[in-house]
Structure 1
Amino acid sequence: MTSHDHDGPDIDLDALARKYVEEREKRLRADGVGQYQSLSGKFASFDTDPNAPPDFDRDPVRRQADVVVIGGGYGGLLTAVQLRKRGVNNIVILEKGADFGGTWYWNRYPGIRCDVESYIYMPLLEETGYIPSEKYARGAEIYEQCRLIAEKFDLYRDTLFQTLAETLAWHEDRQCWDVATNRGDTIEARFVVSATGLYSSPKLPGIPGIEQFEGPSFHTSRWNYDFTGGNAEGNLTGLAGKKVGIIGTGSTGIQCVPPVAEYAEQLYLFQRTPASIDVRGNRPSDVEWFKSLPPGWQRERMMNFTALTSGVAQDEDMVNDSMTNLFRQPDATPGGRFQDINSEERNKAEILRMETVRQRVDSIVKDRKTAEALKPYFHYFCKRPGFSDNYLQVFNRPNVTLVDTAGKGVERVTPRGLVVDGQEHELDCIIYATGFDFMTSYARESGLTVIGREDTSLEAHWKHGARTLFGMQTRGFPNFFVLTLVQAGVSFNYLHTADAQSIYLADLISHCLENNFGSVEPTAEAEDEWVNLCLERSEARLKFLANCTPSYLNYEGQQSEEFALNSPFGGGPLPYFEYLEEMSREGFASRLEFKALVES
């Protein structure tokens, strides 16, 4: 069967479907997410902070707080800011890094940049008066804006840096959490917000011999500038005369490959699955346009983007980039049918879009064999789309070699390099652009031991998958909140989700403090209702992902009850935001159980 569209190419849909299945099956592995390992053994030292003062020390802290916020990334920052706005000032923030920033503090690899437009990704632009320099800001600029937010809202005085929360224990008689850290701190907190981030636990591929390589090897979130020279802007002069291998073709690989290619004598990129590379179209900010925007413009723009990328028609596309372009395809939104991830309209738009992505490879990459290997054969949303105006171009350089592993990955690591299909590629350095644990185990990703009522651990409570209300609270763990995407509505702009969650929980915490409630947790009925709704609404998404090329989005191709429970809310971000807003408007009583404060 052939599809023809007057705005697009002729496509043999049957042949394309077979190709998608063939490419997927090449990449299926029995070990699923077990194919990855944490930063252990030789790599354990990389779990330290290369950006922090090495000899930092302080005396243990003993104090009481209304709220402890764990994490100083955007989730923690937004939570603290919203609490400040509501007059909640007795806050302690615990951050394992030496400054605010989260992902943007730890990740400083060359070429780092956000894929979401800075005007909707960088929060509180109106409150801080900050104007991003570009439509897609560099990592260093986003990090500096995090620091600006902390300064404006006076958060530094409440923060313990280079401090890792280790154990939380709930005490029913005192209606509080005892928070213990790696520096001997003990903080008694009425409420705890865990904002440890989506990308906080780096992972490495479990390739045999990974510790045997004799040269420098490191994860991109712990970039070794002592070896490469330069900084996030480039100038990697230490790579002169060096043969470098990079494993990973996700967003990080797409961004760090061009600057490495510029300075290395030879770059080998080891590819298991080609990425979908669309136009970024970056440009400097128009300052006069920015200054002319009316009050409330940022939230309106965020909502416009989230609605469009959820398949909801809008009169105007305010962001107007490659991400929203898919949803402007013919027949994309009539009657809202494009919101169904398995609908014919959406499938058609994705097929046309991926065909343009593959045609773009042909138009840029000169070597035909390399170009063919770089073409992605999967549905557009099986993997997070990539955006770059200089990634594909590097494969025209004589010093860049694509080592396509045909879906199998690298066979083993030797003292001298990497082996693919029996051939050893000798290297001076190996860089792992292999990402982070994502929505797997909360305890594993956060590093926290959480003990709730009746000495029950959260890890045991969620052994077979999360059980929450709105992805943020779980019964048996009063006054404990988690900012995560598990069972939560997910926008392509994560900051929109974090913003909505931080407003909700700040409203709820201030409501408890104002009304002398000692504890709050979901009712059993509300939690069951939300879990069942999540499972019901996730069926369409899980059906779609079941046929996708393996990735972190589908547990590397393995479906399970745990995966279903640890997935985002399938109803999408817009209904999710409505649930949160409705709860706040109605005073929270419908789904939560409150207990009066016990006077000590």
Structure 2
Amino acid sequence: MAETSNSVLDNDYIEALREKYREERDRRIRPEGEEQYLAVSGKYAEFVDTDPFTPVTPREPLHDEVEIAIVGGGWSGLVTAARLVEAGATGIRLIDDAADFGGTWYWNRYPGIQCDIESYSYLPLLEETGYIPKEKYSYGSEIAEHARRIGELYGLYDKVVFQTRVIECRWDDKAKRWILRTNRGDEMRSRFVVLGSGLASRPKLPGIPGFDDFEGKVFHTCRWDYDYTGGDVNGGMAKLADKRVAIIGTGATAIQCVPFVGESAEKLYVFQRTPSSVDLRGNAPTDPDFFKTLEPGWQDKRRENFNNVLMGVPVEEDLVNDRWTVRRRLVERMMAQGKVPDMQSLMREADLEDFAHMEEIRRRCDEVVENPETAELLKPYYQRFCKRPTFNDQYLATFNRPNVELVDTSWSHGVERITKNGLVANGKEYEVDCIVLATGFEMSTGFKRRIGVEVAGRGGVSLYDHWSEGMRTMHGHSIHGFPNFFFVGLSQIGVGPNFTSMIDGVCHTVSHIIAEAQKRDLEEVEVTAEAEQAWIETIRAGTPAVSPLEQCTPGYFNNEGQASKTVSNYTSMLYAPGCNAFNALLAEWRANGEFAGFQFRRSNDQGGQ
């Protein structure tokens, strides 16, 4: 793709683009915000309660006690468990509702599923496992296989209870233990609890009128029904040859699965509210000589390099060098001109760079899509990071197929209603046999709804009451009033696009604290109210009074355009200096050995370390 220079975008054109961005945003705003989505409960619980891949194995309820209960078997739980094993902690149990490790990579098996971060940075514990990813961007089956590899290497298959969902964690003040209740009738007791339920665990369901009236097949992409479609993650869905299919959503999931459904279905309608920015993928097999050149610590170095490039920090070499890291062009130009990129000038130039980059993305639509009207509808008019960027080399070309039709719903705020025979958009009914919900996951709804686990701490206080005015933690993982309880997620930690890099410091730190507590035979470990408040003030100090995401097109990054009106969106509660700075802060905290901000209690202790 040819590069667009900032110089070809004159001031008048940039101002016209700014106005275009505002117009495109405003006509997509819906006053109900996040309330436009259905909660995955009651009659809609089937979207998460069923496993189309593995039959549930009957077992008797467990009534026992362990030292450490980790809720979640995805990256948050797996990496924390691995770090606990490395730290010498004992009595670990993982609990997950899937039938194997992997979290979202267990459930998401839609055709074409692939990670959008390069595999050498994204797949955790590569050095520890000695694994070499097959390609620069791994497909879902390889990622799920790597999760199993971690489970095997660290002996976690002997420490896990699968096909079990934790529904409540309640602290017993007298026994100094957590009581975990599950959907299988279990009542487990645990000294420590790590909640690592993940960011992408609760599917988002569109609250379209008539949702229950449709008489055809409906499923969410995180529970892909290959019995209905035929084929597998590589496509070949022969059973769709006589089917009319509707895909609702055009985010990262749809970008990957649309080409495969387009190849197989008799007719495919893609219902779009907001187009994604679709950049080149350019995947390639791993050079067999690549890993021979690597030295110990290479993965951390590569991750840090990636984060620095995205933050605009000058580096000697862009190690990842892909379409994520195009901002390096900006830094290189400034350095070549003898300019030291201070933050103010960097932000000003980055704004211009963003317009130029998005012009490249829009021009690619014209270059690939043959129908000019369709090409125009596929163009994203917003800043690059208003929505998560996507990368695919087949998606745009799929709209050149005669059996594929784009249905833009931006003027009607989405699909108007569902009937027994199909969907209505822009006043027209589209009759289909199957509706595929490529609508993503709940990432900015209320904490209780999103996490899906009742949590009650000291004195029976609900975690969600404690967070009623916003999340409260120290370093994103520890909560006052919730002793021996740790949270591994994306809120109040360092910002970055690579999930596994963002949580790694937290996983190290949580395992460090628990291992130390076991070594000292401590009964309770709890962050102080003062330390929790100090971290809140740190987060707030780096958060602008008016979120820049407020000006973005609606999506989960800005709570459907209401970023400043809610307290639940993780993107508004991140450590502003970024992922590298946050992980360095945690590493220093661990190294000094003081456990600053924590109270350690033994039996009958009143507090202190």
Q: Which residue of 1 aligns with 2:602?
A: 596
Q: Which residue of 1 aligns with 2:380?
A: 376
Residue identity matched to 1:388? N
Q: Does 1:402 align with 2:403?
A: no
Rounded Cα–Cα distance in structure 2 between residues aligned with 1:25 and 1:36: 19
- 1:532/1:431 CA distance change after superposition, 3 Å: same
Contact in 1 for aligned 2:48/2:202 (Cα 8 Å): no
Structure 2, unaligned runs of 5 or more: none
Residue identity matched to 1:306? N
TM-score normalised per structure 2: 0.94
Rounded Cα–Cα distance in structure 1 between residues aligned with 2:521 and 2:453: 28
- 1:588/1:52 CA distance change after superposition, 3 Å: farther
Residue from 473, 479, 491 that aligns with 1:474: 479
Higher mean displacement: 285-294 or 202-211: 285-294
SS of the residue aligned with 1:256?
A: helix
- Which structure 2 residues correspond to residues 105-504 of structure 1 after superposition, within 5 A? 105-329=106-330, 331=333, 335-337=340-342, 343-407=347-411, 408-504=413-509
Rounded Cα–Cα distance in structure 2 between residues aligned with 1:40 and 1:590: 40
Deviations 1:334-370 (A, max 9, x none): 64545999x2122111111101111111111111111
Residue identity matched to 2:558? N
- 1:468/1:360 CA distance change after superposition, 3 Å: same
Contact in 2 for aligned 1:534/1:571 (Cα 8 Å): no
Rounded Cα–Cα distance in structure 2 between residues aligned with 1:135 and 1:242: 34
Q: Does 1:577 align with 2:583?
A: yes
Contact in 1 for aligned 2:271/2:406 (Cα 8 Å): yes
Residue identity matched to 2:434? C
SS of the residue aligned with 1:97?
A: coil
Per the TM alignment, residue 406 of structure 1 is displaced from its structure 2 partner at its CA by: 2.6
Deviations 1:147-183 (A, max 9, x none): 0110111100110001111111112333221222222
Contact in 1 for aligned 2:495/2:577 (Cα 8 Å): no
Rounded Cα–Cα distance in structure 1 between residues aligned with 2:117 and 2:56: 37
Per the TM alignment, residue 575 of structure 1 is displaced from its structure 2 partner at its CA by: 2.2
SS of the residue aligned with 1:557?
A: coil
Per the TM alignment, residue 52 of structure 1 is displaced from its structure 2 partner at its CA by: 5.0
Rounded Cα–Cα distance in structure 1 between residues aligned with 2:553 and 2:268: 26
Rounded Cα–Cα distance in structure 2 between residues aligned with 1:66 and 1:228: 44
Rounded Cα–Cα distance in structure 1 between residues aligned with 2:73 and 2:137: 22
Contact in 2 for aligned 1:517/1:596 (Cα 8 Å): yes
Identity among equivalent pairs (%): 45
Higher mean displacement: 320-329 or 429-438: 320-329
Per the TM alignment, residue 89 of structure 1 is displaced from its structure 2 partner at its CA by: 2.3
Rounded Cα–Cα distance in structure 1 between residues aligned with 2:345 and 2:221: 36
- 1:43/1:64 CA distance change after superposition, 3 Å: closer
SS of the residue aligned with 1:396?
A: coil
TM-score normalised per structure 1: 0.95
Rounded Cα–Cα distance in structure 2 between residues aligned with 1:8 and 1:156: 58
SS of the residue aligned with 2:381?
A: coil
Contact in 1 for aligned 2:6/2:352 (Cα 8 Å): no
Deviations 1:94-142 (A, max 9, x none): 0111110001000000110000000111111122121111110110110
Q: Which residue of 2 aligns with 1:543?
A: 547
Residue identity matched to 1:444? R
Contact in 2 for aligned 1:33/1:555 (Cα 8 Å): yes
Contact in 2 for aligned 1:326/1:353 (Cα 8 Å): no
Q: Which residue of 2 aligns with 1:562?
A: 567
- 1:38/1:411 CA distance change after superposition, 3 Å: same
Rounded Cα–Cα distance in structure 1 between residues aligned with 2:357 and 2:508: 36
Rounded Cα–Cα distance in structure 2 between residues aligned with 1:258 and 1:321: 22
Higher mean displacement: 582-591 or 557-566: 557-566
- 1:340/1:489 CA distance change after superposition, 3 Å: farther
- 1:201/1:317 CA distance change after superposition, 3 Å: same
Residue identity matched to 1:362? D
Per the TM alignment, residue 28 of structure 1 is displaced from its structure 2 partner at its CA by: 0.8
SS of the residue aligned with 1:288?
A: coil
Rounded Cα–Cα distance in structure 2 between residues aligned with 1:243 and 1:41: 29
Contact in 2 for aligned 1:311/1:339 (Cα 8 Å): no
Structure 1, unaligned runs of 5 or more: none
Rounded Cα–Cα distance in structure 1 between residues aligned with 2:446 and 2:341: 34
Rounded Cα–Cα distance in structure 1 between residues aligned with 2:341 and 2:68: 41
